[in-house]
Structure 1
Amino acid sequence: MAQVICRNAVEAPILNLLMRERAMAVSAREWHFRLAGYGYAIKDVAGAQVVTKLPQNTELGVLPVQIH
């Protein structure tokens, strides 16, 4: 069975949280740790960074390039 890849953009409230946490984090590693505290993760899928909901690993959308 093939895995369906989510290609929509992340919703605005979640994107705002991601951007706020990225601004407060010193490094990308800290940013990922902070996001895990909110129940989110970022994974690389076919050259794009996809936001997922933990612990189900449900894909929520693709991050815009300027946030990486």
Structure 2
Amino acid sequence: MFAENKLTEDFGDIRNFLLSEREKTLSEAEWRFRMRGYGYNLKRVDTGYEVARMTTQQVIGTLDL
């Protein structure tokens, strides 16, 4: 998937990208909507957010927030 205009499979890069985008938004709903545009589906779970690819719904990691 893409993060910071580069193709990456490293969840560390993806995590940094997601968190930097979160700082640019005013609400959780706006952030989740923006991430869908980048191809990431964020699902709220007990420990934070589950990050999955939009195309396959394959979970690639969890953000602890």
User: Which TM-score applies when normalising by structure 2?
Assistant: 0.74
CA RMSD of aligned residues (A): 1.6
Sequence identity of aligned pairs in percent? Answer: 35
Higher alpha-carbon Rg: 1
Gaps of 5+ in 1: 1-9
| Structure having the larger proportion of residues in strand | 2
Aligned match of 1:57? 57
Task: Kindly tell me the number of residue pairs found equivalent between the two proteins.
Answer: 55
| Structure having the larger proportion of residues in helix | 1
User: Which TM-score applies when normalising by structure 1?
Assistant: 0.71
Q: C-alpha deviations, 1:17-66, integer Å up to 9, x for none?
A: 10111000111010001100110011134x2321001121010011122x
Q: 2:14 is paired with a residue of what secondary structure?
A: helix
Question: Runs (4+) of structure 1 moved beyond 6 Å?
Answer: none
Gaps of 5+ in 2: 1-9
